[in-house]
A and B are shown apart, each in its own frame.
Chain A
Amino acid sequence: MRAIGIPILSLMMLAGLTAGSPSCAEDAAKSCDVPAYLLTSDSPLSRVAAVIKAGGPLNVLVVGSRSSTIPGAEGDAYPARLEAALREKLPGVTVNVSADIAPRKTAEDIAPGLSKLAEEKKPTLVVWQTGTVDAIRSVDTDNFRGALDDGVAALQKAGADVVLMNMQYSPRTETMISPNAYIDNMRVVAQQHDIPLFDRFAIMHQWNESGEFDLFRAVHGVDLAKRVHNCLGRALSTFMIDTARINPGEIRIQR
């Protein structure tokens, strides 16, 4: 099986050697550290690059399920954090991030409406977060891949760059949900369309291993969720800028 987050396994030994007990992990600074290779992609984001160079407006649309929001604290979910991080890193560029959240919808449910959504909102970039509901319902992976294929093609046809985002790393449900086949298929579709894949699963796994966040433990309240989403938003902003081959320093000089 090309299994459990294979790419991140390479880091696990290192992480394993350095990770201490949970209590010491709590004290560690929340630096949102992510290995560089998870924050870049060889596939281009040409429209994003062009728009940023022109000074905006950079319209990002997040299409996702419930893990793209925090119930009761939408303003602290990663789409909003992404907007804040992008504005901070790209001064002088108009940035708008909006989110279209459809809970309990599989990729097959979402894909047919993407074309219309893109025409309405005219996004520069669509971040399509999907796979969780499909994995929960163990949707046939061929159908899943077909839906991704159609959805990405429709978005590209509508003139948007596309980033695929896979599911959260969720250690507590590991014995109940098997995300690997869906992660693999998302990677395949990303390769076929030459679009970047934001590997949320590997990144969160990395955070859990390094002790940045303890994702195993039961938590009351939304504090942990807010901090994780903040880091995800920052990571996604770095990923976008790096993949679009933008040097924020140069932009600042031009302005």
Chain B
Amino acid sequence: MTSVADQVIGAHAGAAAHGIARSTPAVSIPVAATERELRLDLFRGLALWLIFIDHLPPNILTWLTIRNYGFSDATEIFIFISGYTAAFVYGRALLDRGFVVAAARILKRVWQIYVAHVFLFTIFLAEISYVASSFENPLYSEEMGILDFLKQPDVTIVQALLLKFRPVNMDVLPLYIVLMLFLPPILWLMQRKADLTLALSVGLYALTWEFDLALPAYPNGVWYFNPFAWQLLFVFGAWCALGGAKRMSRILSSPVTLWICGAYLLFAFYVTLTWHVPQLNHFMPRIVERWMYPIDKTNLDVLRFAHFLALAALTVRFLPKDWPGLKSLWLRPLILCGQHSLEIFCIGVFLAFAGHFILAEVGGGAGIHFVVSLCGILIMSGAAWVFSWYKQVAGKGGSRTKSADGDADLAGGGA
């Protein structure tokens, strides 16, 4: 379904990288010329699962999420891969159809994500209204103050539509909306001066840290994921998609990189271990602690970014794109989820709300927590399978070009 398209984009990626004409052979391309890059789908699917598990109350499965083993977490994976796939798909559209059409398609995608966000907000409103009317416990009279905003729904709803009021667990889609909104100019520049674009992105990141750039939130504070900082991952993903990954391959395969990455991951693992086993804190020099903490998620701390880079470098090195396991039945659910990221992300957030509700009604207990998490993952996988099936069925009726257009959905991917 994507083979032709991928060859085209591959050629363009090569062209962008080398600054020569379209005839650049498809061989010089970072991604497989004939097939989808299944590793991207795999890890985006994995990120979706991890985000879902992280949104539920902690349980045994929480132990599988990567944030327990280092600085970065599923959000980094998600934003990077979203940047990569968005640049990949819309970059092709930009070259084939021109800037205006590509920009229009990106904006259509932005609208879809926005609608998804509003949909999730509606569910959130229903959930907390239920809690407000049913939950009573004098122990938590202070915490129930969070429900005060229900007293003025006019303000709250308008602020939510403006993306300024964002409940817990609903910070990722607004970030994604803003990033996608600026994708057209980023792509335009990226296809002409890839390194300059990346340099500008790093510059904006540095300015953000220097001058505390941030977007205001309602009722106060700032956006949980600061777009001025997180754009770095998104643009870096786009840069990799448009030839950067290929040019970095020498660095990536060098043993020095391997050792640096390994050492850094070990260091991060040890630091994380001191959070779990406080006794280890004795062995953590105070100076390191003072310099290192807090590890800021809002502004994408350099430690987090570096941790993601190290993880990605090792993954690319040890998981070749033609790894037979990618075709295995066991990884199929993950890959399917990754291929329908926006839908699965929304289902995941909804299931997290529903999971909280069930746990509240049935009562806690580790066993039920585990069952709820597992059911959620099964539902996500089942839904992804249905989406794939439908797409296949619908695709058979359409023309080739149409199915290539539809492919743009794959670049989406909420969060």
Would you call A6 and B352 a contact (CB within 8 A)?
no
Residue of B147, B217, B365 with most chain A CB atoms under a 10 A cut-off: B365
- Bound-state CA distance A216–B359 (Å) is 8
Would you call A20 and B365 a contact (CB within 8 A)?
yes
B154 on interface, CB distance cutoff 8 Å: no
Q: How far is the CB of B293 from chain A (nearest CB, A)?
A: 5
Q: How far is the CB of B23 from chain A (nearest CB, A)?
A: 46
- Bound-state CA distance A153–B246 (Å) is 53
B325 on interface, CB distance cutoff 8 Å: no
Provided the pairs A10-B277, A185-B294 are in contact, do residues A175 and B145 lie with their beta carbons within 8 angstroms? no
A146 on interface, CB distance cutoff 8 Å: no
Would you call A173 and B143 a contact (CB within 8 A)?
yes
| Complex partner residue of A104 from B58, B131, B145, CB under 8 angstroms | B145
Provided the pairs A138-B217, A219-B139, A224-B137 are in contact, do residues A22 and B365 lie with their beta carbons within 8 angstroms? yes
Q: How far is the CB of B225 from chain A (nearest CB, A)?
A: 11
> Which A residues from 192 to 247 make CB contacts under 8 A with B?
192, 208-209, 214-222, 224-225, 228
> Which A residues from 75 to 128 make CB contacts under 8 A with B?
103-104
Collect the chain A residues with CB atoms within 8 Å of residue B277's CB: 10
Would you call B290 and A191 a contact (CB within 8 A)?
yes
Would you call B140 and A3 a contact (CB within 8 A)?
no
- Bound-state CA distance A189–B73 (Å) is 24
Q: How far is the CB of B299 from chain A (nearest CB, A)?
A: 10
- Bound-state CA distance A13–B276 (Å) is 12
Would you call B145 and A133 a contact (CB within 8 A)?
yes
Q: Name the residue of chain B whose CB is nearest to the CB of A173.
A: B143
Residue of A2, A22, A142 with most chain B CB atoms under a 10 A cut-off: A2
- Bound-state CA distance A138–B145 (Å) is 12
- Bound-state CA distance A187–B135 (Å) is 31
Q: How far is the CB of B304 from chain A (nearest CB, A)?
A: 9
Q: How far is the CB of B109 from chain A (nearest CB, A)?
A: 27
B222 on interface, CB distance cutoff 8 Å: yes
Provided the pairs A1-B73, A3-B67, A173-B143 are in contact, do residues A12 and B62 lie with their beta carbons within 8 angstroms? yes
Collect the chain A residues with CB atoms within 8 Å of residue B68's CB: 6, 9
Collect the chain B residues with CB atoms within 8 Å of residue A50's CB: none
Would you call B60 and A16 a contact (CB within 8 A)?
yes
Q: How far is the CB of B358 from chain A (nearest CB, A)?
A: 11
Collect the chain A residues with CB atoms within 8 Å of residue B275's CB: 2, 6-7
Would you call B168 and A177 a contact (CB within 8 A)?
yes
A66 on interface, CB distance cutoff 8 Å: yes
Would you call B58 and A12 a contact (CB within 8 A)?
yes
Provided the pairs A2-B67, A168-B140 are in contact, do residues A176 and B167 lie with their beta carbons within 8 angstroms? yes
Would you call A176 and B146 a contact (CB within 8 A)?
yes
Q: Name the residue of chain B whose CB is nearest to the CB of A41.
A: B278
Would you call A7 and B54 a contact (CB within 8 A)?
no
B298 on interface, CB distance cutoff 8 Å: yes
Q: How far is the CB of A99 from chain B (nearest CB, A)?
A: 14
Residue of B275, B359, B363 with most chain A CB atoms under a 10 A cut-off: B275
Would you call A132 and B143 a contact (CB within 8 A)?
yes
Q: How far is the CB of A178 from chain B (nearest CB, A)?
A: 5
Provided the pairs A132-B142, A175-B169 are in contact, do residues A216 and B279 lie with their beta carbons within 8 angstroms? no
A59 on interface, CB distance cutoff 8 Å: no
Provided the pairs A140-B220, A219-B136 are in contact, do residues A176 and B142 lie with their beta carbons within 8 angstroms? no
- Bound-state CA distance A209–B367 (Å) is 11
- Bound-state CA distance A209–B131 (Å) is 21
Collect the chain A residues with CB atoms within 8 Å of residue B136's CB: 218-220
Would you call B363 and A22 a contact (CB within 8 A)?
yes
Would you call B364 and A222 a contact (CB within 8 A)?
no
Would you call B217 and A174 a contact (CB within 8 A)?
no
A166 on interface, CB distance cutoff 8 Å: no
Would you call A3 and B219 a contact (CB within 8 A)?
no
Provided the pairs A7-B278, A172-B140 are in contact, do residues A12 and B60 lie with their beta carbons within 8 angstroms? yes
Among the stretches B196-204, B237-245, B281-289, the one at the interface with A is B281-289
Q: Name the residue of chain B whose CB is nearest to the CB of A4.
A: B58
Collect the chain A residues with CB atoms within 8 Å of residue B146's CB: 136, 173, 176-177
Collect the chain B residues with CB atoms within 8 Å of residue A217's CB: 137, 360, 363
Provided the pairs A140-B222, A173-B146 are in contact, do residues A10 and B276 lie with their beta carbons within 8 angstroms? yes
A53 on interface, CB distance cutoff 8 Å: no
- Bound-state CA distance A66–B141 (Å) is 8
A184 on interface, CB distance cutoff 8 Å: yes
| Complex partner residue of B143 from A5, A37, A168, A218, CB under 8 angstroms | A168
Collect the chain A residues with CB atoms within 8 Å of residue B289's CB: 191
Would you call B290 and A192 a contact (CB within 8 A)?
yes
Would you call A175 and B167 a contact (CB within 8 A)?
yes
A residues lining the B interface (CB < 8 Å): 1-7, 9-10, 12-13, 15-17, 19-22, 37, 42, 65-67, 70-72, 103-104, 132-133, 136-142, 145, 168, 170-178, 181, 184-185, 187-188, 191-192, 208-209, 214-222, 224-225, 228
B residues lining the A interface (CB < 8 Å): 54, 57-60, 62-63, 67-68, 71, 73, 75, 124, 127-128, 131, 134-147, 167-169, 212, 217, 219-222, 224, 272, 275-279, 281-282, 286, 289-290, 293-295, 297-298, 352-353, 356, 359-360, 363-366, 369-370
The 8 closest A-B pairs by CB, nearest first: A16-B366, A66-B142, A22-B363, A10-B276, A225-B139, A6-B275, A138-B221, A170-B143
